[in-house]
């Protein structure tokens, strides 16, 4: 027992002999097995299948086709549109919508009344906890043909329109802001609660107005939380599927088909697994790049041993 | 809130003091106005957030509900009665509990086991492992559904609970391991060293000493995992095929295709029933956390 090198203190860094190390690592086995079999392997499989003409139907198997799927994607107008829509959806709903609204809510909450604070956070968080399909239905009911928004517009004499048809990407973006803002609000509330009051008060004494105080004092102090939050909500928004699928199914004519929707339709509805996988791989790579930036932003190198 | 202090007549001998008082009073009253505006803006934003929710609540109690919000006339429980049967509600809900519950149990068990060596021992593989875990939390799971489907067909796991549970557990594993390790790091190692000298094995120490101390943190991770899986639509949508296996997150979707003409009131009632477990669990979670949500190291930049 006394030879065990334990604990976070790494004095001496005596490494255990190989068999002991193996025994110690044994509890990792279930997690490593699951992650290997259901996450790492599919990723490898994804890389391989993207270069084949694998189809959903027909037992003929798959032939290696090189970069054909990628050439097809990069020259296809639909693919360009889906990348463009993914960017619009992410910028509108995550980077602008959830991020700014979440920050505004967190800032206002600090000087809001206790009861108001409780009510607002309950409602915003409620929207976040609701299952994504239910959120999709709610927004369909609000924006759809014969929905509440049109009733309201009609009441003030404006022409009704089916927002899910005329502005589908805007509709799903707003729905995603509604659904995801709670996350940013919670992250920013936690970050702001750690900003010492004295510093802001000192700035007030020095004559800084509210705007100056916000941009020169408060926001710089939580900039790392802003960076990590932006990264996380970008990653979450990149893979949104259920919300868009419930509201529009990517339509009309692919006008709300972001990359996940487009890849799903190609792979499962047009039975083109090879091409769908190539599209998924593009999405995976985009996510991987953002994830790497996120790791860098956290700068774990120093803080973790 | 509006406790304006009565104006004290300033002695003429101290004009400077009077000026300071006036300034202070001015600042305080503008402060009060500011608070009023803040509360008003907050309530306005909340009102915007409530509008979509109105429909589901009102339509659930309105047998003739359409897509637009209208006051139920009369209020009725007919929609709930209509959907509370085996095919529409009970079986999908039970399926959801089996799938999400099973996946949550596996996630927690695997996380606790994995976190132990990561938290207690030094190893050169630890840092790369933790970095990989953190990197994985960012990968869009949506992207690997196509290859996972292909793989499941080949190994005959498609349309099975086992396969779906294992995959769902895997998707929630990275963040769960990360959080669990952080919670475990907070348990002092001295307690275990005492147990070791008494002859306990590391696994016994984990079960008897460490876990009981971590139980509040672990219940947070468990509830968080369950809520996320409960709302997940895409994974069971892809991996489960037969109607009898579908959990509530997917079966709610078949309201449109199965019944032709959609009965919106019933859809709303079912949405309410399906959302309740997540909402109730979140209430438990927020009580446990005392209002603030602990995201662990993952978001604390």
Domain ranges (residues) in chain B? 23-76, 84-286
Cis (ω within 30 of 0) for the bond into B74?
yes
d(CA A277, CA A70): 10
Question: What does pTM read for this prediction?
Answer: 0.84
Residues 6+ positions from B108 with CB-CB distance below 8 Å: B176, B180, B218, B221, B222, B225
Give burial (CB, 10 Å; 0-12/13-18/19+) of B76. middle
Annotated domain spans of chain A = 87-255
pLDDT greater than 60 at residue B13: no
Q: Please tell me the distance from the alpha carbon of residue B153 to that of residue A56, in angstroms, as a whole number.
A: 10
> What's the CA angle centered on A272, arms A266 and A278, to 5 degrees?
75
In contact, A171 and A142? CB cutoff 8 Å: no
Dig out the tokens for A244 from the structure. Answer: 């868009």
| Chain B, window 12-31: residues with a beta carbon less than 8 angstroms from a chain A beta carbon | none
Using pLDDT thresholds of 50, 70 and 90, give the confidence band for residue B21. low
Cross-chain residue pair B45–A120, CB shorter than 8 Å: yes
Is B53 near chain A, with CB under 8 Å? Answer: yes
* Helices and strands (H and E) in chain B: how many: 13, 0
Give the best residue of B100, B115, B122 to mutate against chain A (max A CB count within 10 A): B122
Structure-block tokens of residue A218: 């408060």
Please compute the mean of the pLDDT values over residues B136-164 and round it to a whole number.
Answer: 88
pLDDT of residue A302: 44
Does residue B37 sit at the A interface (CB-CB below 8 Å)?
no
CATH 1.10.3720.10 fits A87-255, yes or no: yes
Q: What percentage of chain B carries pLDDT values higher than 90?
A: 28
* Mean pLDDT, residues B119-131: 87
Residues of chain A where predicted confidence (pLDDT) is lower than 70: 1-17, 56-61, 299-305
Instruction: With CB atoms and an 8 Å threshold, state whether A41 touches B130.
Output: no
All residues of chain B having their beta carbon less than 8 Å from the beta carbon of residue A267 are: 146, 149
How many other C-beta atoms lie within 10 A of the C-beta of residue A206?
10
pLDDT at A305: 38
User: What is the pLDDT at residue B265?
Assistant: 86
Cis peptide leading into A252, omega within 30 of 0?
yes
| CATH superfamily of domain region B84-286 | MetI-like (1.10.3720.10)
d(CA A121, CA A35): 35
Segment 156-215 of chain A within 8 Å of chain B by CB: 178, 186-187, 189-190, 193
Q: Which of A176-190, B20-34, B61-75, B83-97 has the lowest mean pLDDT?
A: B20-34
Checking phi first, is residue B64 left (phi over 0); if not, alpha (psi -120 to 50) or beta? alpha
pLDDT tens digit string along B194-211?
Answer: 888 888 888 888 888 888
């Amino acid at each position: 027992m006394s030879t065990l090198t334990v604990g976070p203190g790494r004095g001496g860094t005596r490494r255990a002999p190989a068999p002991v190390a193996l025994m110690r690592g044994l509890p990792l086995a279930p997690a490593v097995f699951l992650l290997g079999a259901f996450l790492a392997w599919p990723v490898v499989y994804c890389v391989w299948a993207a270069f084949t003409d694998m189809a959903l139907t027909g037992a003929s198997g798959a032939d290696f086709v090189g970069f054909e799927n990628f050439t097809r994607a990069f020259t296809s107008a639909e693919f360009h549109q889906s990348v463009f829509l993914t960017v619009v959806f992410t910028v509108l709903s995550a980077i602008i919508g959830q991020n700014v609204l979440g920050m505004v809510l967190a800032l206002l909450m600090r000087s809001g009344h206790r009861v108001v604070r409780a009510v607002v956070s309950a409602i915003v968080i409620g929207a976040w906890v609701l299952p994504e399909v239910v959120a999709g239905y709610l927004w369909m009911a609000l924006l759809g043909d014969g929905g509440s928004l049109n009733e309201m517009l009609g009441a003030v004499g404006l022409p009704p329109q089916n927002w899910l048809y005329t502005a589908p990407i805007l509709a799903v973006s707003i729905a995603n802001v509604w659904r995801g803002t709670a996350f940013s609000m919670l992250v920013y509330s936690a970050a702001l609660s750690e900003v010492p009051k004295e510093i802001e008060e000192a700035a007030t004494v020095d004559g800084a107005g509210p705007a100056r105080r916000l941009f020169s004092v408060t926001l710089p102090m939580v900039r790392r939380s802003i960076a990590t939050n932006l990264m996380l909500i970008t990653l979450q928004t990149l893979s949104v599927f259920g919300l868009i699928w419930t509201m529009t199914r990517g339509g009309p004519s692919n006008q709300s088909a972001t990359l996940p929707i487009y890849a799903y339709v190609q792979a499962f509805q047009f039975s083109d697994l090879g091409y769908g996988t190539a599209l998924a791989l593009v999405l995976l790579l985009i996510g991987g790049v953002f994830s790497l930036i996120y790791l860098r932003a956290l700068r774990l190198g120093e803080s973790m041993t | 809130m509006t406790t304006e202090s009565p104006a004290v007549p300033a002695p003429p001998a101290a004009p400077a003091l009077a000026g300071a008082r006036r300034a202070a009073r001015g600042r305080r009253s503008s402060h009060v106005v500011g608070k009023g505006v803040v509360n008003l803006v907050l309530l306005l934003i909340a009102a915007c957030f409530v509008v979509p929710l109105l429909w589901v609540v009102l339509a659930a109690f309105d047998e003739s509900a359409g897509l637009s919000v209208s006051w139920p006339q009369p209020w009725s429980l007919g929609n709930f009665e209509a959907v509370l049967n085996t095919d529409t509600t009970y079986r999908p809900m039970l399926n959801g509990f089996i799938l999400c519950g099973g996946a949550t149990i596996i996630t927690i068990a695997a996380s606790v086991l994995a976190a132990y060596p990561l938290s207690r021992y030094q190893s050169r593989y630890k840092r790369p492992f933790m970095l990989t875990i953190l990197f994985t939390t960012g990968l869009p799971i949506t992207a690997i559904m196509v290859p996972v489907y292909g793989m499941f067909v080949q190994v005959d796991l498609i349309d099975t609970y086992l396969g779906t549970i294992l995959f769902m557990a895997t998707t929630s594993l990275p963040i769960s391991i990360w959080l669990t390790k952080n919670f475990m790091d907070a348990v002092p190692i001295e307690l275990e060293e005492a147990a070791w000298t008494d002859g306990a094995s590391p696994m016994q120490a984990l079960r008897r000493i460490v876990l009981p101390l971590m139980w509040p943190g672990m219940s947070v991770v468990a509830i968080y995992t369950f809520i996320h899986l409960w709302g997940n639509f895409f994974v069971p949508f892809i991996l489960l095929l037969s109607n009898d296996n579908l959990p509530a997150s997917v079966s709610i979707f078949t309201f449109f295709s199965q019944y032709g003409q959609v009965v919106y009131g019933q859809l709303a009632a079912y949405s309410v029933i399906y959302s309740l477990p997540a909402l109730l669990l979140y209430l438990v979670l927020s009580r446990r956390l005392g209002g603030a949500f602990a995201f662990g190291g993952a978001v604390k930049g």
